């Protein structure tokens, strides 16, 4: 039996006529990749792809996205099924360990996460260093990195057991840290986790209850919270996940890596979009102003963009947005909310979806368009929206970091560049500078 011939891609230099054969690698789904690792050695050239629009940074078995078809799979399971059937902690287990847990495995995992939800008491002192009006994402960047100073016993990145413990600690404690950031900004006392509550219910409890009054969320709200967490849990090699991987490639500890992911997530082009959606709605103010803002979104000389619209990968629809819209309707009905800002959002969606500019460019509402609305209805301040995203995405970040650490060869990530600055020139003494 002969092996199938290796598939290759031949690249020819039009100037010199020299050519090089590069291997084509195939995954389970998706476009094949040209493996260019030998390109520089063979040709002396690098490739240039500044925003990684055509570059795969790694092989991964965790998440698959088909942007044209609007498909998102975690370990082969469709996000729609996970959102309907699974729980956030089961999805975390799936992302981390590769398969759906059996009954006892899920119970053990839930117990472990529940037992790790408290944070070191001294971490409270870290919060005191922040201004009360600090953005909770600024606090999260700091306190998550600070975790490395408190949990020394799980920082040996070469020990699989310590990696496992760190992963569990991050998934369990980041919601507590997030709720503390919210309480700190409100000037309210921190609320300790309650082990008899589910993960989502406990998070709502830590965010909304006060010593004077117990907060008991309805099952519909708990379910909506859990769904929000599932829908944001992982999204393959986006900016923040790539940041986590790049930070981890230098052998930095997992707490530091996740803190770096949080910083990347903060930007309005990424996780900050759900906050930006609400701020944009505030700016639009009234239905009558929608046409004016749509014109601004189309004008290339105006930096204004329709926040919550468009996606680097999804060019048809965002499958998470469809589930989120469903949850959004349920929550609004459950809470009996009649909010003019929400009506404005729905009208904006309707008008934009019928506008040729948005149709031609395949710009659809993304998950953040609806998550902002739903979180507002649940009572979260807008500054907390991106924090909630970080709580959820911790599962994806740490799963991707774990996968990278389990590779037999870990090499530091080091992109190259095309230098376009001045050519070498002699130093000019101050007296001769013009």
Site residues, ligand ACO (CB under 6 A): 269-271, 273, 297, 305-312, 361, 363, 366-368
Residue whose entry in the numeric block shows the structure tokens 């600055």: 421
> Which residues are CB-contacts of 319 (< 8 A; sequence separation ≥ 6)?
70, 71, 72, 78, 79, 80
User: Quick one: 156 or 283, whose CB is closer to ligand ACO?
Assistant: 283
Residue whose entry in the numeric block shows the structure tokens 């472990």: 112
Annotated catalytic residue: which of 135, 226, 311, 318? 311
Instruction: Tell me how far the alpha carbon of residue 168 is from its chain's centroid.
Output: 18
CB 215 within 8 A of CB 208: yes
Burial 133-161 (b: 16+ CB within 10 A, else e): ebbbbbbbbbbbbbbbebbeebbebeeee
User: Quick one: 101 or 372, whose CB is closer to ligand ACO?
Assistant: 372
Both ends of the chain: CA-CA distance in Å?
Answer: 75
The CA-CA-CA angle for residues 406, 264, 418, to 5°, reads 85
| Active-site residue flag, 360 | no
Q: How far is the CB of 308 from ligand ACO (least distance, A)?
A: 5
User: Quick one: 183 or 270, whose CB is closer to ligand ACO?
Assistant: 270
**What is the rounded CA–CA span in Å between residue 120 and residue 81?**
37
| DSSP H helical ranges for 73-154 | 79-85, 88-97, 103-115, 123-128, 136-150
Q: How far is the CB of 44 from ligand ACO (least distance, A)?
A: 30
Q: How far is the CB of 341 from ligand ACO (least distance, A)?
A: 17
| Active-site residue flag, 368 | yes
**What is the rounded CA–CA span in Å between residue 393 and residue 384?**
14
User: Quick one: 182 or 306, whose CB is closer to ligand ACO?
Assistant: 306
CB 6 within 8 A of CB 23: yes
| Active-site residue flag, 270 | yes
State the residue number with the nearest CB to ligand ACO: 310
Q: How far is the CB of 271 from ligand ACO (least distance, A)?
A: 6
Q: How far is the CB of 390 from ligand ACO (least distance, A)?
A: 12
166, 161, 169: which is closest to 119 by C-alpha? 169
CB 230 within 8 A of CB 327: no
Annotated catalytic residue: which of 226, 234, 318, 368? 368
Residue whose entry in the numeric block shows the structure tokens 């010199």: 16
The number of helix segments (H) and strand segments (E) in the chain equals 18, 6
> Which residues are CB-contacts of 288 (< 8 A; sequence separation ≥ 6)?
none
Q: How far is the CB of 189 from ligand ACO (least distance, A)?
A: 32
Q: How far is the CB of 68 from ligand ACO (least distance, A)?
A: 14
User: Quick one: 41 or 300, whose CB is closer to ligand ACO?
Assistant: 300
Annotated catalytic residue: which of 116, 226, 270, 318? 270
CA dihedral 283→287→290→291, nearest 10 degrees, is: -150
User: Quick one: 170 or 363, whose CB is closer to ligand ACO?
Assistant: 363
Q: How far is the CB of 273 from ligand ACO (least distance, A)?
A: 3
User: Quick one: 25 or 359, whose CB is closer to ligand ACO?
Assistant: 359
385, 358, 355: which is closest to 369 by C-alpha? 385
**What is the rounded CA–CA span in Å between residue 7 and residue 252?**
36
User: Quick one: 309 or 385, whose CB is closer to ligand ACO?
Assistant: 309
Catalytic residues: 270, 311, 368
């Amino acid at each position: 039996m002969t092996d199938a011939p290796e598939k290759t891609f031949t690249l020819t230099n039009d100037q010199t006529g020299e050519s090089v054969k590069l291997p084509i690698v195939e995954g389970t789904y998706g476009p094949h990749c040209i493996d260019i690792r030998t390109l520089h050695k063979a040709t002396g050239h690098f490739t240039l792809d500044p925003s990684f629009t055509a570059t795969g940074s790694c092989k991964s078995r965790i998440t698959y996205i088909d942007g044209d078809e609007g498909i998102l799979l975690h370990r082969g399971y469709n996000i729609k099924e996970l959102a309907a059937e699974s729980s956030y902690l089961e999805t975390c287990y799936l992302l981390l360990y590769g398969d759906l847990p059996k009954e006892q495995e899920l119970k053990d995992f839930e117990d472990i996460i529940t037992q790790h939800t408290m944070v070191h008491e001294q971490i409270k002192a870290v919060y005191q260093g922040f201004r009360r009006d600090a953005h909770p994402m600024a606090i999260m960047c700091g306190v998550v990195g600070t975790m490395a100073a408190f949990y020394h016993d799980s920082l040996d990145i070469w020990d699989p057991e310590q990696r496992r413990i760190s992963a569990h600690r991050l998934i369990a404690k980041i919601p507590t840290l997030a709720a503390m950031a919210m309480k700190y900004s409100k000037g309210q006392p921190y609320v300790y986790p309650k082990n008899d509550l589910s993960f989502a219910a406990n998070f709502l409890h830590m965010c909304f209850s006060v010593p004077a009054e117990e907060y008991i969320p309805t099952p519909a709200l708990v379910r909506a919270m859990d769904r929000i967490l599932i829908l944001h849990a992982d999204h393959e090699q986006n900016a923040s996940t790539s940041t986590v991987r790049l930070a981890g490639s230098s052998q930095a500890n997992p707490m530091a890596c996740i803190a770096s992911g949080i910083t990347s997530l903060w930007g309005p082009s990424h996780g900050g979009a759900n906050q930006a959606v609400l701020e944009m709605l505030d700016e639009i103010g009234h239905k009558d102003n929608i046409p004016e803002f749509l014109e601004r979104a189309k004008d290339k000389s105006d930096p204004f963009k329709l926040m919550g619209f468009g996606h680097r990968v999804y060019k048809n629809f965002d499958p998470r947005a469809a589930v989120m819209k469903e949850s959004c309707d349920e929550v609004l009905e459950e809470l009996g909310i009649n909010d003019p800002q929400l009506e404005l959002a729905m009208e904006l969606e309707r008008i934009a979806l019928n506008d040729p500019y948005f149709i031609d460019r395949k710009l659809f509402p993304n998950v953040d368009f609806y998550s902002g609305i739903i979180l507002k209805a649940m009572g979260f301040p807008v500054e907390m929206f991106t924090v909630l995203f970080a709580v959820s995405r911790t599962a994806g970040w740490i799963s991707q970091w774990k996968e990278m650490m389990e590779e037999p060869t870990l090499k530091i990530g080091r992109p190259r560049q095309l230098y376009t600055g001045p050519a070498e020139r002699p130093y000019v003494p101050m007296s001769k500078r013009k």
